[in-house]
Structure 1
Amino acid sequence: MVNGYLETYNKLIESAKREFENKEYEKVSIRNIASGANLTIGALYQHFKNKEDLYDCIVSPICDGFISITNDRNKDFIDSLERDEFSIISEELSYITNDLLKYIYDNWKIFRILILNDKTKIYKTFFNTIVENETKMTQLMIEKKNISQYEHLTFKKLKSLISAQYQGIFALMRTEDDIKNLDNDLHLLFDFFRYGWIGVLGI
């Protein structure tokens, strides 16, 4: 019984992935997902409340993993600030970039489904969370370094800058089906932002 339930669940997940890979969220139908899994719509509703619930089951692990990496790396970054190790901040920023890119590469198909559907509730929550977390980290760095010329950069202004940064990164990612085609461009863009912040904050 349990094996049959899991088998049906996995069939629906795989069918939904195929649908979301090739269509925008609004154009994906529950009927096509069920049909692609050779199951009835009734069988689908035994596992998922609706299309949003099914979509969230596919992309939420990727969101959680990405946020976990940023939280862990931001903690290391903050620890460096607390120890006044400003000399290794650039190195810490490089580690964050490499870890995030590796995670995106390893989970590209699902990550692309997530960023292509930027009007979904889960994407907006994901985007706001990573921007909020990075804004807090940047504000702490400014306060720790006592950079008086940037005191005017309120939390709201910093959040706008960091939001624009991630919007640019994700916009670039939406231009290609194959992440490997973006390898050089992504590294260049991440370096652009990293060295930009280093220059602006005088690290």
Structure 2
Amino acid sequence: MRSNTKTQDKLLEIGKQEFLKNGFKSASLRKIVKEAGFTLGAFYGYYKDKEALFDGLVGEVAEDLFSTFRAAQNSHFNLIDCDKTIDTRELTMEYLKYFMNYIYDNFDEFKLLICCADGTKYENFIDDLVIIDVERTTEYYETLRKLGKVEGNVSQQLHHMLTSAYFTAVFETVAHDMPKEEAVSYIEQLALFFNNGWDSLIKFK
């Protein structure tokens, strides 16, 4: 967890509001600095540019999510050693609930990542998650197929399309400022819908 000075906290809070209101591209650095009561020179003592300020707001949660997401992907392979691959969908749902809690604990940061990041290195945030998921899941399916623990197949293109649709739908909760309780119910129904679809294509043994 980062430790900021009061000056940084002030810049970050005012910057967050400006980014949330106008998006990264249209956000005014001069306005942020002025409202914070500093000069541009003072700002550059903390951040090299506007994108560095944006990164200061979202970088930690984005990194944590990617790190935990990769660990979640890897944990599925543990099911093979325990001969519990039949529980794959259940494990996925458990992690989805964890991620939803994390997202809502850091809602403003994810709002920035999903809705306001155009023009930054985070502008393809959802696509980057999709790529990780498809690559690792494909490896998981191939491993199970060699062990005779899965039936069915999907093309790489279809796999990517379905995963992209799923992740986009999940983050609609953030895009539309959905209350957490409503979002949890929405996600459960969404997962049920997609899991039934996947079960018609890929069956675990």
Question: TM-score of the superposition, structure 1-length normalised?
Answer: 0.84
Contact 2:151–2:203 (CA under 8 A) maintained in structure 1? no
Q: Is the 8 A contact 1:117 1:123 kept in 2?
A: no
In the alignment of these two chains, the number of paired residues is: 198
What is the 5 A alignment of 1:95-174? Answer: 95-146=94-145, 147=150, 149-150=152-153, 153-154=155-156, 156-174=157-175
Q: Give yes or no for contact 1:115–1:174 (8 Å, CA) kept in 2.
A: yes
More displaced, 27-36 or 122-131?
122-131
Q: Give the partner amino acid of 1:25.
A: F
Cα distance, 1:16 vs structure 2: 0.7
Please state how far the C-alpha of 1:169 moved relative to its aligned partner.
Answer: 2.3
Question: Could you tell me the percent identity over the aligned residues?
Answer: 23
Cα distance change on mapping 1:103 and 1:58 into 2, 3 Å: same
Structure 2 unpaired stretches of 5+: none
With CA pairs under 8 Å and 6+ residues apart, which has the higher RCO, 1 or 2? Answer: 2
Judge which range, 37-46 or 106-115, deviates more: 37-46
On the 8 A contact 1:12/1:34 being kept in 2, the answer is yes
Aligned partners of 1:13 and 1:58 also within 8 Å: yes
AA matched with 2:114: I
Measured after TM superposition, the shift of residue 170 of structure 1 is: 2.3
Return the offset for 1:35. Answer: 1.8
Shift of 1:174: 0.9
Q: Bigger CA drift: 185-194 or 41-50?
A: 185-194
Tell me how large the CA RMSD over aligned residues is: 2.4
Structure 1, unaligned stretches of length 5 or more? none
SS at match of 2:48: coil
Q: For residue 193 of structure 1, what is the amino acid of its counterpart?
A: F
Conservation of the 8 A alpha-carbon contact between 2:20 and 2:112:
yes
- The residue number in structure 1 matching 2:18 is 19
After superposition, the Cα gap between the structure-2 partners of 1:121 and 1:198, relative to the gap in structure 1 and judged at 3 Å, is: farther
What's the CA shift for 1:104?
0.6
CA contact (8 A) 1:108 1:179 kept: no
SS in 1 for 2:201: helix
SS for the counterpart of 2:155 is coil
Letter in 2 for 1:131: V
Secondary structure of the residue that 1:194 maps to in structure 2?
helix
On the 8 A contact 1:93/1:194 being kept in 2, the answer is no
SS at match of 1:62: helix
* 1:84 paired residue number: 83
Determine helix, strand or coil for the equivalent of 1:122.
coil
Residues 81 and 141, structure 1, Cα contact 8 Å, conserved in 2: no
Q: Secondary structure at the match of 1:200?
A: coil
Q: Is the 8 A contact 1:80 1:89 kept in 2?
A: yes
